[in-house]
A and B are shown apart, each in its own frame.
Chain A
């Protein structure tokens, strides 16, 4: 099986979907000619294959990029637009939150907005809080948007292909820390369904629900705990909206314990939603109170010791698990 970083896996998904469907086009800042002359980046080489008619380098204009997607999608194209970093979602958010997400509803179901907004996110690059800020809970809070946050290259490829074929607006958030780690990706054509979580590691003692860049932290903690005889089950949500309650609840029914792990800040984070669902629908299966392990309620600082402090660690996860064992 080929081994690809997440950026390369996304590149394959974009390439294959553009070959398959002439209505798919890309737009964004530097999606054609980028400062990154680097094949590990998602849109590398696409301009050469598809030309400037379909790979649209835009001005620095997030509102216009998002508006372009909304209008073009309503008119029958399938835009895949890039907002360079997750925090700049704020600039695109009128078009996405007030329009992409609501116009189908407003039309009484007559219109559809088959668009994808790709964004980079995640702490760990030392760039500080205007570049590193995970805003998935904002998007998830907005009815009408699907929210996808893959943790592996294979999922990224399969989920992006599904997102492009989906008739709804999909927010697709990519953790930069995963771009460069080679992971197995099937060679054959496949898609991964939106709205299905996956048990990335089976276990019987405690469930850790996580997504995106935190999967690695969860798996590392599980390895360490295995040596102490604790068997951790890791559920990777992959998609926040729609939320695969079934997989989460089934796992909690099996283990009786839950820790939700995410990189985004705690208050109002999506971990609260997962926790609430389990309290409402799986409380009878819980043997102990659930826990959240998240980023603290601060903007992501630049200085390395501060940034490391921000990012949830396997030690923190292990401590939380031990509290409820």
Chain B
């Protein structure tokens, strides 16, 4: 299947934007008192969210987890309101209730970020059920980690989704670590994709640092889902280049391993590919970098200029 130059540039763009966005966060969270809470980044893993979301239509739903910034930006969330929420400001997408961890952006069909590990898949099943129930031509994608795959909720969700042939795509972002535990210390089967067989659903593993490869498998899974062929499990093999969060000194992660994976960075990879295909020039790329810089700096300015919510606003939004 040929992917249009425009689509490919879109993937490169959203990867670049999230990298720039998160690089800025990395610096900002070093400044005392600027950004509350934890800071969890997806540096090096951008091909997963960007490849997957490029394969979706705006009406498709994504459910994400604690490592969500790239997923949300790739789904089209407004960087200003995301940044403002990360700053815990009133203008943030969740009025400061969430902060960086549970960003919900229903406007772009990204209604739920759960930071309870493994909670995404059952919720995605509910979304997909509603899509099937209403006879809609849309699917739900659920991003979760290799660590999350150990939770019973993930198995239960897959079983139900397969049984009812729900239009859900489970994307396991296998970034080798769950907290400080390496994959082989928490999962006995080296292949996460193998699990699909247990539920008689489609399961494939892809190079999670290759945005195009991710795009292709997600597009195919989407077609299968819409054709009534049920859910898919896609394992994207990638790597967590930074710590679990920014407070993590990565003492258990071999330096050489980090360096080796940094060499496989998905951004220059797609850029060089596009340049060699002749659909991108070095100047185009420079322009993209400049645009990402402008957007991120504008988001930071927007967030900094925004007010905090007033204390009593804490009481709002408990009930509908």
Contact = CB atoms under 8 A, between A and B. Distances in A.
A34 interface: yes
A88 B115 CA distance: 10
B227 to A, nearest CB: 34
Contacts of A296: 314-315
B311 A125 contact: no
B310 A128 contact: no
A297 B315 CA distance: 8
Interface string B78-105: 0000000000110000011111111000
A63 interface: yes
Contact of A301 (B96, B185, B187, B249): B96
Contacts of A63: 151-152
B58 to A, nearest CB: 27
Interface in A99-117: none
B99 A128 contact: yes
- Candidate in A91, A127, A301, A303 with the most chain B CB atoms within 10 angstroms: A303
Interface residues on B, range: 35 or more
A127 B248 contact: no
Nearest to B147: A60
Interface residues of A, number: 39
A308 B312 CA distance: 10
B311 A88 contact: no
Contacts, number: 134
B220 interface: no
A298 B309 contact: no
Contacts of B312: 309
A61 B310 CA distance: 38
Interface in B102-117: 102, 114-117
Interface in A272-304: 296-299, 301-304
A130 interface: yes
Interface in B179-197: 179-181, 185-187
Q: Is the interface of B mostly helix, strand, loop or mixed?
A: loop
Contacts of A125: 37
B314 A301 contact: yes
Contacts of A303: 36, 88-89, 95-97, 99, 308-309
A37 B249 CA distance: 7
A303 B251 CA distance: 30
A59 interface: yes
A303 B101 CA distance: 12
B115 A35 contact: no
B178 interface: yes
A57 B310 contact: no
Contact of B178 (A60, A127, A131): A60
A307 B101 CA distance: 15
Nearest to B116: A130
B318 interface: yes
Contacts of A36: 247-248
Contacts of B187: 59
A126 interface: yes
A126 B150 contact: no
B283 to A, nearest CB: 41
A287 B152 CA distance: 53
Contacts of B95: 303
A27 to B, nearest CB: 13
A99 B54 CA distance: 46
A55 B25 CA distance: 35
A151 to B, nearest CB: 24
A88 B97 CA distance: 19
A325 interface: no
A37 B253 CA distance: 12
8 nearest interchain CB pairs?
A: A302-B99, A303-B96, A126-B36, A59-B150, A303-B88, A309-B311, A126-B37, A306-B314
Interface of A: 29-30, 33-37, 57-64, 87-88, 91, 125-131, 296-299, 301-310
28 contacts: A35-B179, A35-B180, A35-B243, A35-B248, A36-B247, A59-B150, A59-B178, A60-B117, A60-B186, A61-B151, A64-B150, A64-B152, A91-B116, A128-B37, A128-B98, A128-B101, A296-B314, A296-B315, A301-B314, A302-B37, A302-B97, A302-B98, A302-B101, A303-B36, A303-B89, A303-B308, A305-B96, A307-B36
Interface of B: 36-38, 88-89, 95-102, 114-118, 147-148, 150-153, 178-181, 185-187, 243-245, 247-249, 251-252, 308-315, 318
Given A88-B116, A302-B102, 5 more contacts: A29-B179, A34-B179, A59-B186, A302-B98, A309-B311
